[in-house]
A and B are shown apart, each in its own frame.
Chain A
Amino acid sequence: MAAGKEIKSQIGSIKNTQKITSAMEMVAASKMRRAQDRMAASQPYAGRIRRVVSHVSRANPEYRHDYQIEREVKRIGYIVVTSDRGLCGGLNSNLLRRVLREVREWRDQGVEVSFCALGTKGSVFFRKYGGDLKAAVRSLGDAPEASQLIGSINVMLAAFDEGELDRIDLVYNEFVNTMTQKPVVHQLLPLPKSLDEEDEAEDAEQDDVSSGGWDYIYEPDVKTLLDKLLVRYVEAQVYQAVVENIASEQAARMIAMKNASDNAGDIIDDLQLQYNKARQAAITQEISEIVGGAAAV
Chain B
Amino acid sequence: MATMQCSIVSAERNIFAGEVERVVAVSVMGELGILRGHEPSLLELKPGPVRVIREGGEEEIFYVSGGFLEVQPHEVSVLADSAERARDLDAGEAEKARDEARSALAGRSGELDHQHALAEIEAATARLRTLSQLRNRKGQK
Contact = CB atoms under 8 A, between A and B. Distances in A.
A216 interface: yes
Interface in A200-231: 206, 208-209, 214-220, 224-225, 228-229
A44 B13 contact: yes
Contact of A206 (B9, B39, B70, B74): B74
Interface stretch (A47-55, A69-77, A79-87, A254-262): A47-55
Chain B contact residues: over half helix, strand or loop, or mixed? strand
Given A216-B42, A217-B39, A219-B28, A45 B10 contact: yes
- Taking residues whose C-beta sits less than 8 angstroms from the other chain, chain A's interface range is 20 to 34
B28 A220 contact: yes
Given A52-B77, A55-B70, A208-B72, A44 B40 contact: no
Contacts of B29: 219-220
A215 B40 contact: yes
Interface residues of B, number: 23
Contact of B11 (A51, A59, A146, A216): A146
A232 interface: yes
- Residue of B10, B11, B29, B43 ringed by the most chain A CB atoms within 10 A: B11
B68 A229 contact: yes
B11 A225 contact: no
Given A51-B77, A52-B77, A146-B11, A209 B41 contact: no
B40 A216 contact: yes
B19 interface: no
Contacts of B7: 44, 48
Contacts of A209: 40, 72
Given A219-B41, A225-B44, A208 B74 contact: yes
A82 B70 CA distance: 33
Nearest to A61: B42
Contacts of A59: 40
B73 interface: yes
Question: Considering the complex of A and B, which 7 residue pairs feature the smallest CB-CB distances, nearest first?
Answer: A217-B41, A44-B14, A44-B9, A216-B42, A219-B43, A52-B70, A45-B9
20 contacts: A41-B12, A42-B11, A42-B12, A48-B79, A49-B79, A51-B77, A209-B72, A216-B40, A218-B41, A219-B29, A219-B44, A220-B44, A224-B44, A225-B43, A225-B44, A228-B44, A228-B68, A229-B42, A232-B79, A236-B11
